[in-house]
Structure 1
Amino acid sequence: MAQELHYTNGNNAWNPDSLGNHRIVLQVAAPGNAVHAHIAWRRNDNDPQLKRIIVTDAQNHRIDNVFTENITREAGDIYFQPVQGKGTYYVYYLPYKNEGRSNYPRGVYVKADTTASATWLNQLHKNTAAAATVKELQAINAFNSFYPMEVIATAAETQQLLAKYPGKAYLVFPEDRLHAIKMKTDLPYRWIKSGVQQQLSGTSDKGAYYAFQLGVYALQQLQNVHVQFSDLKTAGGAVISSDKIDCINTTGLQYDGKPFKQTVQVAAHDIQPLWCGVDVPAAATPGVYKGTATVQCDGMPATTIQLQLTVSNTTAVNGGVNTPENMTRVKWLNSAMAQENTVIAPYTPLAIQDSTINLLGRNLKIGKDGLPAQIQTFFTPEMTSVSSTPNNLFTEPVHFHFTDAANKNFLHWKTNGFTFTRREPGTVAWEATSTSEALEMQVSATMEFDGFVAYSVKFTALNDVQLNDINLHLPMQPDASKYLMGLGLKGGNRPDTVQWKWDVAHKNQDGAWIGSVNAGLQFSLRDEHYVRPLNTNFYLQKPLLLPTSWGNSNKGGIDVFQKGKAILVNAYSGARNMKKGEVLYYNFNLLITPFHAINTDFQWSTRFYHKYDNLDTIKATGATVVNIHHGTPINPWINYPFIEWKQMKSYIDEAHSKGLKVKIYNTIRELSNHTYELPVLRSLGHEVYSPGKGGGFTWLQEHVGSDYIAAWFVPEVKDAAIINSGMNRWHNYYVEGMNWLVQNVGIDGIYLDDVAFDRVTMKRIKRVLTNNGHPGIIDLHSANQYNPSDGFNNSANLYMEHFPYLNRLWYGEYFDYNKNNPDFFLTEVSGIPFGLMGEMLQDGGNPWRGMIYGMTNRLGWTNVNDPRPLWKLWQSFGLEKSAMIGYWSGNCPVTTSNGKVLATVYKKDGKAMVAIASWADADTEVQLNIDWKALGIDAAKARITAPAIEGFQQAGDFTKNALPVAKGKGWLLVIE
């Protein structure tokens, strides 16, 4: 057996940013001009001969006179001058430097160099150099260690092993759960020592999930690799059924509850870990259970591994999931928790009246062809309540147009009407089939309790047909289409004409929101191959797929213009021919807005402190909710809050005792490299982690290798994240994990920093966060996505499907609160047209304009525009229980003499607070126009004053005086 080095923990004894994370400890017995060390380091990195080797003395002073040769991945020879005589010396063999942004570093390994003097090199006699003793190989800490599963076997050892199995197409190495298989092409030296085993033994408590691995080493290309399990049985006849044993690489449940099946292929000379597990029943009889796991692949003999699982007499606490380091949570990847589409508060069960579906504040009337005949909302212009007066969205039913070469609508449809196929409180579904002489149209649609409507529209050619165009018309009422957001436009007043074309290579755009404050509609165009793209800096690495139908080789697009009484949204796809039997899917989704009335009292009474801090300090500010970011002592690792959970629980328990709530940063877009299950997720190919060029922080390069996208990095704790691929089974884990945090740690909600999951996962999260009366507060932050790397999407448009389940918005970096118009504030930032309220971030926000929409910035994140003086005024005035009447409603009882100086009223019995903000081009002076009757105040007795607010305004009396308004600023006035 070859020399085996001892691998030890360096306990952070050196600075990795100059020396790297790995070193060899040498002992020199006697002084001399040169010593030699042959180091069998068994490195897993490529091209080690190109990387610098640094030799230091015991005080980490670099030694110049160093000569290296025979540097390979397996070993290397180091000659150096022991300038301090006998004693300890170190060889650092992966030094690096970080380039790029601190939060997106590019770890670059320093190139090999020569520092030895010519004199010393001439005097170097390699054959007579004294031997230095190799004592151990150290990683800077345990987390950076390569031992044991990333210590490679030599080529000779590998060939010797393979020689024992001539003619084999593959070998199977069973491995326990604590030695995760990490290398893709190198056998670990551990397997050389153990040899090829035919059995695996383990121990589990009752009720726990026992995970294990079957490492398949392909000696030639393997197709359809999978595992079959037998029952596990004791000598006494107790049985754990084979249906309690699974292989997550091949079967399971998708994030949306549909069955998951993956065909595993293994390239020649690759290693594929198959992660398997036994879900031991809580009622299992203690004892030794035996059975088999049989690895099979197409055209090759099967390999059977004997399994032996000893089940203890102890019942696992919480199913064993409190110890994720034992891979007990791997089963969460196939969880169906909170998948039932039960109605979530404040929404109400769907109700059907003839052809109309009623939901909270809205309804949808279905036409005979299954398409929307009308959509109505019932929200008041102030958005604070629901009325009995409908707001119609359409001037006529939604419909398709099919035009021939003469551009005439030439198809005459026959339909027998639609049929409801599902009637549940949370979901209603229906179908309709229409036929013409050339095409059949099959409409399948579902509507959910929050106002989401998904249409699958399948067109089948009954004969060969030439089409000049296929168009979908959304004929919007002008009153319900004042604003538009999307299609390459920032949110704001709708232009008279919009012309948009598909450009998925550069733009994350497939629809828009069009509407008014109390009635609107988001539409998005899809086909049956839709895959959610990446977002937040990574859109270009996984963009939208051009819909075959709507895109039609980039012939398609969307025009918005006035036609007759309607503001027509015309989605067209251009000329095409369809052969008899050909099928096209013109699918589309709708979101009916607003989702609910705004909850102003929540806005005034719930004040966020966005920083980990002393709880007494936070309490004294007047904040009521603490947001705990990642990179903090109790939540250090991004989107993996399960390692320091005991410290988190202690903090939250103390917060609760002081009347504070605590929410944590936790989402899916990227995932910490500290994730226990990282090797498991890597074994799933690209299901969870996106393909990419690798790189990033050096830990990722050393332990993940390649084929990933490096994401956010926190220098203070050296937390390096990897980008999630999008819609996958990690969402199941996320839901289970969130439920565990609520039940075991006591979190009061989550802070979302952009979102990489869809509304299916959002609904599941809201259910577990609010279960059993937990508050389940969710706020969503987004940087402005309207830029090239994000595909020029509007953050509100991108995340609107999540808005029904949010409590607050925080939009965000790169949102300009000073150079944008009020309509931009209203549509893209405030959340009000969707039933939400928000806060500001960039540069502390504009507090005067913010108060027009009930917004401040967030305490703890910035020292600019401290919101506490405004909070105090809210409390002293009694803003809770006031009626917010915004300038947008048309019923606001206070306006100004300048159309660019806007007013929002917060009305109470006998008094009112008026927020004034200017978008005028210069300082100005305005008169207030007050509807005293609507305000409910006697004009003869009223006083109009400005209370002193630190950093906001000086005190003043404007009862009889005009109001001076500085450019970009405003006032908070009290009328009483």
Structure 2
Amino acid sequence: MKILNLTLLFFCLSIIAGFAQEKSSFDPHLYGTGNWDADSLGNHRVVINVENEADIVWAHIPWRRRDFNPEEKDLIIVDVTSGKQIKNIHSVTINREFGDILFQPQTVPGAYEIYYLKHKMHGRSNYPKVSYPEFVSTAENNWLKQAKSASKDLNKLPKAELFQFQAIDPFNSFYPMEIIATQEEVDQLLRENRDAEYLLFPEIRENSIRMTTDIPLKWIQDGVTNQFSGKVQKGEYFTFQIGCFAAQKEIENIRVGFTGLSRNGKMVVDADALTCFNTEGIDWEGKPFTKNCPVEKGHVQALWIGVQIPSEIEAGEYECTLKVKPANMDETLIPVKLQVSEIAVRASGDDNPERLSRLRWLNSTIAEDDGIVAPYSALEINDNTVKCLGRDVTFGGNGFPVSIKSYFSESVTKIQENGKEILAAPINLVVETDEKKEDWTAPSFKRVKQKEGAIAWEIKNEMPGLKMNGTVQMEFDGNINYKLVLTATKDISIKDIRLEIPFQQNSAKYMMGLGEKGGFRPEHVEWKWAVEKNQDGPWLGDVNAGIQARFTDNHYSRPLNTNFYLEKPLYMPDSWYNDGKGGINITSAGNESVLINSYSGSRVIKKGEQLHYYFNLLITPFRPVDTKKHWHNRYYHSFQPIDTVLAYGANTINLHHANAINSFINYPFFIPERMKQYIDEAHSKEAKVKIYYTVRELTNKAPELFMLRSLGDEIFSNAKGGGFSWLQEHLDQNYIAAWFVPSIKDAAIVNTGISRWHNFYIEGLNWLVKNVGIDGVYIDDLAFDRTSMKRIRKVLERGNPGALIDLHSANQYNHRDGFANSANLYLEHFPYIDRLWFGEYFDYNLPPDFWLIETSGLPFGLMGEMLQDGGNPWRGMIFGMTGRAPRVNVTPLWKAWDDFGMEQSEMIGYWDSTNPVKTGSKDTYATTYVKKGEQTLIAVATWAESDDEVKLDINWETIGLKRSKAELYAPAIDGYQDENKWAPNEKIIVPKGKGFLIIVREKE
């Protein structure tokens, strides 16, 4: 066991031996850091000194531990001089407040280290499980017998002197806010304040309140002052805290009020410039809300306060009053004095995360508007027909679509003049009583909003026993959202309430969702709601026309995803689910139509009872596929020198985390100057840099972490805790441990589905665009909704036109993820994404219809790439997909593209009826890249069980070449194919699992 020699450290022991005194206050010098192997010994130790020789020495350790059940955890004592572990140890008393430990010293005089939170890591390196082994006695029997006898009167034993409590580094230190007060100290505090139902402890922002079940010793030392003073700068967004201790009984709720800031009796800053984040805020949709803030008896709740100091304010002292009012308790007034300095701070202090000024980002409304983003156009409305990019929707007088048309070409590369009808009949909400199918009798569809990016209507209708009220909104990306409320006007017995969506047969060729993998639509699907399934609707369509239908209600809360779904699964919508009676059937009516029937089953509705039938229709594709941009942007997924990336042939860098300029997951703000320097160099060499920055989990290094924890389950999901040792030692055990990077000890916890953290995230993105110059983001799965995604796209486009968004997802079609199809799960975000990386755990041996629907992005106006095991480059080229560089060497393929002139070609997929090349094989497919009149590139790949022999049937007129002058040429591409030639009528043997890139050209 390697232990750092502390000889120099103990040189001054005699001077500071007074630190060993156990008092109600504490000297900061008693808490320090050390250097040792934390993986084998843990993150915390006590350093003691033994002055006199003895066979048994008593160490009294007033450690004031925040962890529970310390008596169940291991203790290790090491002799600093020899570096050896002491074997003869006996624990007399171990509790949270102190430990009385007997041991046999080896070196006297000498220093000893007691390690008291030894942990053991096991499991996956990036999702570790950490346990704390129990103490196992190694003492010799005779010595142990003597020690037990001596423990009856400890005062007779020589006593070791306490030198210092140490953590492995400052980040792991418990000082000062995690040093607990003893029960005696708390009792004394309560006696001194016996008339107070609760106690308040103002605290500076630097000392984030961390414990909820204990109060820190610091507050015993500070006492109950009920006043706060702080130093601020001009223009700063200043934050501080009030700790509320429920001393006598539970607090049901807390309200916090303010007076404005005044100076010399004159109001300078209005009261609305102050806020308490724990009791109020603005949600991710820009809506103000109040927040319930209860406190259990004996627990602590942090109340975080923020105030914007104007930049033009005069220096001097300003005052305001905080009013803390727990429900059914007396109000407490806290005078606040802020000393404003002459120095002004830039950007409210946001350039320094440690200031916590960025907390105001939680209530940001940035990009909360009905504006549009490229390449979309403003909505147009003519009567009841609304036009968005490439699609038309005509609404009937009852507010439901009677026609939905798509104008995209079959290869989704352009918009055509003639549209393809998706619906076979109008969409309708059907109500059936026990007696009959009822008719709606009083339709009303009134427009209430018209903006360039959104048009909204108020919808009303009636039938005997039911009244419908609701809203409908269509947006520029083709999303139509219905929020319908059915109110019973009398007691009514319902046989069924269902939404019927009738598709044209040729507009429902493919499907994904409801437990079906992406691909050809089955003839019949029967599906029932189940909480184990992260599924709330299907997508049906053809490559160039389709609809995703999702069904929710007013209680919808976005579930967790990617490994964590079962921790917070989908809420079953009361209306559609109906206690398990609801479901979705998809049936085919011969060659005429296909019906989605989302039914809710029988129920009795009492007069005045309301049912919320919410649903969403998303019309696909969203935009033409931009093949030129796809071929031009060459991605490199590694932090390397810019020249290295350019030499590889790439021009767009996806900068992941855990590197020298983007260290900690989803918090890329610590070293922005390094990141900016790197990006500036890239820009000077015509390259782009995008960063890994997303919402799903957050590093424990974020300075705002403990404040965010004070918001209950608003920002972070609740669960059983666990994970890396830092999390277990510093967080109450109600979190979900997430990604961990061993090399830098980056331990993340999981965000909840949707919250104000998305406001913070979007403001952070805006800061990075303006201050660092990022060219976009690489998003690793999505934990926010389309509202947030729209705002993200707007912030990027407005700050850096041409910025890019990539989406990576692992295949979530498994039990732990609720058998969700990644493409269906994230489809609402696709209008704002530039490239897909649907790679990990995707099976590239599945049929091409799976590739087309679930991984390629093409039916939705996107293109994608491969990842798992490098992908299959031959099959990938059928869809324009490659592997991830530099994990896969893509340079030879990129060079072949450039030699051919890929950016100038027109992509025509195998699924397109106008594809000029047919293989004549049911297992081998061809996609063409046409430069009409010049040359055409044919991507051929096979899914056959063995080598497949094909003869290419080429439409020479379409590609603009003469068969008599043509040859089929396969250029040599390293790792892909050897050079080869064929005559136009010659058979080609396609190797199993592989394919060719064949250029059709005229012979020289």
Q: After TM superposition, is the score higher than 0.5?
A: yes
Shift of 1:340: 1.0
- Give 3-state SS (helix, strand or coil) of 1:138's partner: strand
Partner of 2:6: none
Q: Bigger shift: 42-51 or 569-578?
A: 569-578
Partner of 1:952: 976
What letter corresponds to residue 967 of structure 1 in structure 2?
Answer: K
- Give 3-state SS (helix, strand or coil) of 1:111's partner: coil
Partner of 1:548: 574
- Aligned pair 1:934/2:958, yes or no? yes
What letter corresponds to residue 947 of structure 2 in structure 1?
Answer: D
- Distance in 2 (CA, whole Å) between partners of 1:803 and 1:906 is 24
Partner of 1:872: 895
Q: Bigger shift: 898-907 or 454-463?
A: 454-463
Aligned partner (choices 241, 247, 263) of residue 292 of structure 2: 263
Aligned partner (choices 42, 47, 58) of residue 64 of structure 2: 42
Aligned partner (choices 804, 812, 818) of residue 785 of structure 1: 812
Partner of 2:745: 718
- Distance in 2 (CA, whole Å) between partners of 1:510 and 1:455 is 15
Shift of 1:703: 0.6
- Closer, same or farther: CA 8–932 of 1 in aligned 2, 3 Å: farther
The answer as to whether partners of 1:7 and 1:137 remain within 8 angstroms in 2 is no
- Distance in 2 (CA, whole Å) between partners of 1:460 and 1:132 is 76
- Distance in 2 (CA, whole Å) between partners of 1:157 and 1:945 is 86
- Closer, same or farther: CA 148–793 of 1 in aligned 2, 3 Å: same
Aligned partner (choices 124, 148, 155) of residue 176 of structure 2: 148
- Aligned pair 1:134/2:158, yes or no? no
Aligned partner (choices 263, 272, 295) of residue 324 of structure 2: 295
- Aligned pair 1:518/2:547, yes or no? no
Partner of 2:100: 77
Shift of 1:466: 2.2
Q: Bigger shift: 569-578 or 206-215?
A: 569-578
Q: Bigger shift: 646-655 or 299-308?
A: 646-655
- Give 3-state SS (helix, strand or coil) of 1:770's partner: helix
Partner of 1:573: 600
Aligned partner (choices 589, 593, 615) of residue 588 of structure 1: 615
- Give 3-state SS (helix, strand or coil) of 1:431's partner: strand
- Distance in 1 (CA, whole Å) between partners of 2:559 and 2:328 is 37
Partner of 1:201: 229
Shift of 1:353: 0.6
Partner of 2:847: 821
Aligned partner (choices 966, 990, 993) of residue 965 of structure 1: 990
**CA deviation map 1:138-190 (0-9, x unaligned):** 10000000000000111111111221111210010011111111111211111
Partner of 2:416: 387
Give 1:590-629 correspondences, 5 Å limit: 590-629=617-656
Partner of 1:921: 945
Shift of 1:644: 2.4
Aligned partner (choices 719, 733, 753) of residue 760 of structure 2: 733
The answer as to whether partners of 1:5 and 1:137 remain within 8 angstroms in 2 is no
Shift of 1:417: 4.2
- Distance in 2 (CA, whole Å) between partners of 1:403 and 1:932 is 57
What letter corresponds to residue 890 of structure 2 in structure 1?
Answer: P
- Give 3-state SS (helix, strand or coil) of 1:440's partner: strand
- Aligned pair 1:440/2:467, yes or no? yes
- Distance in 1 (CA, whole Å) between partners of 2:574 and 2:29 is 56
- Give 3-state SS (helix, strand or coil) of 1:733's partner: helix
The answer as to whether partners of 1:368 and 1:415 remain within 8 angstroms in 2 is no
Shift of 1:775: 2.8
- Distance in 2 (CA, whole Å) between partners of 1:68 and 1:253 is 52
The answer as to whether partners of 1:238 and 1:285 remain within 8 angstroms in 2 is no
Aligned partner (choices 884, 904, 911) of residue 858 of structure 1: 884
Q: Bigger shift: 423-432 or 23-32?
A: 23-32
- Closer, same or farther: CA 9–625 of 1 in aligned 2, 3 Å: farther
Partner of 2:389: 360
The answer as to whether partners of 1:692 and 1:708 remain within 8 angstroms in 2 is yes
- Aligned pair 1:349/2:378, yes or no? yes
Shift of 1:236: 7.1
Shift of 1:653: 2.0
Shift of 1:100: 1.9
Partner of 1:181: 209
Aligned partner (choices 313, 316, 337) of residue 308 of structure 1: 337
**CA deviation map 1:343-367 (0-9, x unaligned):** 0111110111111011111111011
Partner of 1:537: 563
- Give 3-state SS (helix, strand or coil) of 1:802's partner: helix
**CA deviation map 1:220-278 (0-9, x unaligned):** 11122121111221127361221111101111101110112112111111101100011
Q: Bigger shift: 699-708 or 27-36?
A: 27-36
Partner of 1:4: 26
- Closer, same or farther: CA 11–40 of 1 in aligned 2, 3 Å: closer
In structure 2, runs of 5+ residues without a counterpart are 1-22
Aligned partner (choices 15, 25, 39) of residue 17 of structure 1: 39
- Give 3-state SS (helix, strand or coil) of 2:294's partner: strand
Aligned partner (choices 698, 708, 723) of residue 671 of structure 1: 698
Give 1:145-294 correspondences, 5 Å limit: 145-219=173-247, 220-235=249-264, 237=266, 239-294=268-323
- Distance in 1 (CA, whole Å) between partners of 2:952 and 2:34 is 67
Partner of 1:53: 75
- Distance in 1 (CA, whole Å) between partners of 2:338 and 2:665 is 35
- Closer, same or farther: CA 563–415 of 1 in aligned 2, 3 Å: farther
- Distance in 1 (CA, whole Å) between partners of 2:339 and 2:944 is 77
What letter corresponds to residue 245 of structure 1 in structure 2?
Answer: L
Partner of 2:425: 396
- Distance in 2 (CA, whole Å) between partners of 1:384 and 1:902 is 19
Shift of 1:25: 1.1
- Distance in 2 (CA, whole Å) between partners of 1:226 and 1:582 is 32
RMSD: 1.5
- Aligned pair 1:847/2:879, yes or no? no
Shift of 1:8: 6.9
Shift of 1:838: 0.3
Percent identical across equivalent pairs? 48
- Give 3-state SS (helix, strand or coil) of 1:434's partner: strand
User: Structure 1 length as normaliser, TM-score?
Assistant: 0.97
* Number of residue pairs aligned between Structure 1 and Structure 2: 969
- Distance in 2 (CA, whole Å) between partners of 1:89 and 1:3 is 25
- Give 3-state SS (helix, strand or coil) of 1:679's partner: helix
- Distance in 2 (CA, whole Å) between partners of 1:707 and 1:17 is 24
- Closer, same or farther: CA 7–53 of 1 in aligned 2, 3 Å: farther
- Aligned pair 1:370/2:392, yes or no? no
The answer as to whether partners of 2:770 and 2:799 remain within 8 angstroms in 1 is no
- Distance in 2 (CA, whole Å) between partners of 1:965 and 1:135 is 76
**CA deviation map 1:627-664 (0-9, x unaligned):** 11122221121111111222222222222223221111
What letter corresponds to residue 56 of structure 2 in structure 1?
Answer: A
The answer as to whether partners of 1:840 and 1:856 remain within 8 angstroms in 2 is yes
What letter corresponds to residue 173 of structure 1 in structure 2?
Answer: F
- Closer, same or farther: CA 895–102 of 1 in aligned 2, 3 Å: same
The answer as to whether partners of 2:715 and 2:751 remain within 8 angstroms in 1 is yes
- Give 3-state SS (helix, strand or coil) of 1:635's partner: coil
Shift of 1:5: 6.2
- Distance in 2 (CA, whole Å) between partners of 1:12 and 1:115 is 26
What letter corresponds to residue 365 of structure 2 in structure 1?
Answer: A
- Aligned pair 1:459/2:486, yes or no? yes
User: Structure 2 length as normaliser, TM-score?
Assistant: 0.95
Shift of 1:296: 0.8
Shift of 1:547: 1.4
The answer as to whether partners of 2:231 and 2:340 remain within 8 angstroms in 1 is yes
Runs (4+) off by over 3 Å: 1-12, 122-129
- Give 3-state SS (helix, strand or coil) of 1:943's partner: strand
- Distance in 1 (CA, whole Å) between partners of 2:32 and 2:944 is 63
- Distance in 2 (CA, whole Å) between partners of 1:7 and 1:636 is 31
